[in-house]
Structure 1
């Protein structure tokens, strides 16, 4: 155990393995969230992705309600809601209700990317959720205003004002975070005085520049007096570094296929990944990921996480536990992801229970 604790959180895409149903993948993530809650992690966020066989995290508000109802202490939120897909009023209503049901435990992370391909974006907008990317800053302001206990007023062409609230008798509002992986998001978060999450787990090259831009340009707001940051990391921790790399191989192969424009299927099991031969260019991508992701035994992994947090000066680290599982693993479980959280909690979190031993 270290002498000084580091705030740790979890990002979950709710991966779907071979021969695993959506129901089983969600059950595995519920168990993972409960472990994070018990171990002392700060927050548990779910992403928004669409039409991907390996990802069940399609609807953050629904999943947040499921996870918050099955946990006790941990904050639950979106990492993030992809705002161009949705009406600001609908998001404000959803998260206003979640905050009312689980007071003090809800986070609203907002992103500017669509989170899918143009066809899915068009289908989402055909339901009336038209929120252009260029309107992103204004839509953030609208959501924040609608979530305030006093609500907002809409100015009509007649000169009258139309009162509007996300929920009729709000006591409080969720924390709103801006997510990003670019200079644009860093500048916007700074300008609007919002807490900022940098997606280092897939855009690590720009981390230093984005966080520097955010801190230098930060303007205090009514909700935040000083910069506040989270850094995301891809992580697998096991008893040995070799085991951690083997557990991460299915996800690294999946990312290599994605980046080379290849079709994606469910997340492979460890046995399937070990038997797969990747193209040379894809293998090069895997080797680079293996060098930059945190894939190690507990002490070394904790040291790297602590060093990265200090290097970038972040307030919190959000881990994406990307381990797959053996083909023999129970379908409604994710044992290696739970093991990752347990081993890191024992190294980095104060008063965390000792990790569970065994397979």
Structure 2
């Protein structure tokens, strides 16, 4: 087995000892580490109204991180398109591509990435993420692609034709990916001849079926150029790597507990420090412990040697040559709030 190309997914986690400013400092430092170590791309997510996640605005984060790095590709994993007007997304990413040509990816998702009230507020009370917005998702994707093209797109309004461009004089466009955690986006990406990523780090099941469907149904689109003559995909996975396997497990525990709370409908708070998570674990019901163990089994947790072997196995299993790791290691009490040393160490150990 050969070692896959490595990339990074970042939700900009906020620990109980951090402010939003601290979390952004830690993420900027992490992006610089990834850049210096030769990671291929660095994507940030879109989640709203969550006390443990500061990744609310991917284009703003991408601009900050692109300015702080030299060569790594920056992108969204992803922009939740039903939350936004397609023109706004096209304008944001056209500007990013103009500022950092050849370094920008636009990953697009269909889920709201938040609760119904926040979805409603994202559109200033104008209906929120309605069923209509979700049902028109394929049309919105087409609009974004067309608006970012240098030629623009013609729109007929009140019987007159109008030319609409996301930016006045584009010389290049971002690579646009479709993201998903079901077979819907796999089918759509195949139909449109677009690159596709399944959220294996979040879902943990259905990955093989979604990728097989995408590859089997893929139809190249001449509009997307020769680089999309064949299906293009990679794998996402949560990872915690340390010098000792038990240390890695301790560092993974706070994020495992947060995923448990998310899936069992418990109230969410900032990310716990390791010592606080261990206290919670000591009194956790057996049924919840079993769920934590099942989730941990799908993550990459261990030493550098163990983790690299598991990444190679996953890449071979799912027939991908790139793996995007979400470094979800927590921190101990007394850690500098503006740093995430265990997340940085995960990237260093994987790249060594």
Query: Tell me, what secondary structure is at the counterpart of 1:57?
Result: coil
Aligned to 2:255: 251
Q: How many residues align?
A: 343
The aligned runs of 1:146-295 (5 Å cut-off) are 146-158=147-159, 160-221=160-221, 222-223=223-224, 224-276=228-280, 277-295=283-301
Flag structure 2 segments of 5+ consecutive residues without an equivalent: none
Where structure 1 has 5 or more consecutive residues not aligned to the other structure, the ranges are 347-359
Out of 334, 342, 347, the residue aligned to residue 340 of structure 2 is 334
SS of residue paired to 1:58: coil
> TM-score, normalised to structure 1's length?
0.93
Match of 2:316 in 1: 310
Q: Is the Cα contact below 8 Å between 1:48 and 1:115 reproduced in 2?
A: yes
Shift of 1:234: 0.5
SS in 2 for 1:178: strand
Name the SS of the counterpart of 2:136 in structure 1.
Answer: helix
Retained in 1: the 8 A contact 2:43–2:76?
Answer: yes
**1:125 Cα deviation from its structure 2 partner:** 1.8
Deviation at 1:127, TM superposition (A): 6.0
Query: TM (normalized to structure 2)?
Result: 0.95
SS of the residue corresponding to residue 35 of structure 1 reads: helix
Decide whether the 8 Å contact of 1:251 with 1:323 is kept in 2: yes
- Asked whether the 8 Å contact 2:9–2:42 carries over to 1, the reply is yes
Describe the SS at the equivalent of 1:213: helix
Instruction: Establish whether residue 297 from structure 1 lines up as the match of residue 303 from structure 2.
Output: yes
Deviations 1:153-206 (A, max 9, x none): 112342x32000000011110010000111111101100101011100111210
How many angstroms apart in 1 are the aligned matches of 2:330 and 2:204?
22
CA drift at 1:50: 0.5
Whole-Å separation in 2 of the counterparts to 1:214 and 1:157: 39
After superposition, what is the alpha-carbon deviation per residue over 1:225-254, rounded to whole angstroms, capped at 9, x for unaligned? 100001100000101111111000000011
Q: Helix, strand or coil for the counterpart of 1:327?
A: coil
Q: Distance in 1 between matches of 2:262 and 2:199?
A: 17
The CA distance in 2 between the partners of 1:183 and 1:150, in whole Å, is: 32
Q: Any idea what SS the aligned residue of 1:236 has?
A: strand
Q: Residues 79 and 107 of structure 2 are in contact (CA less than 8 Å); yes or no, is this contact kept in structure 1?
A: yes
Q: Root-mean-square deviation (CA), in Å? A: 1.3
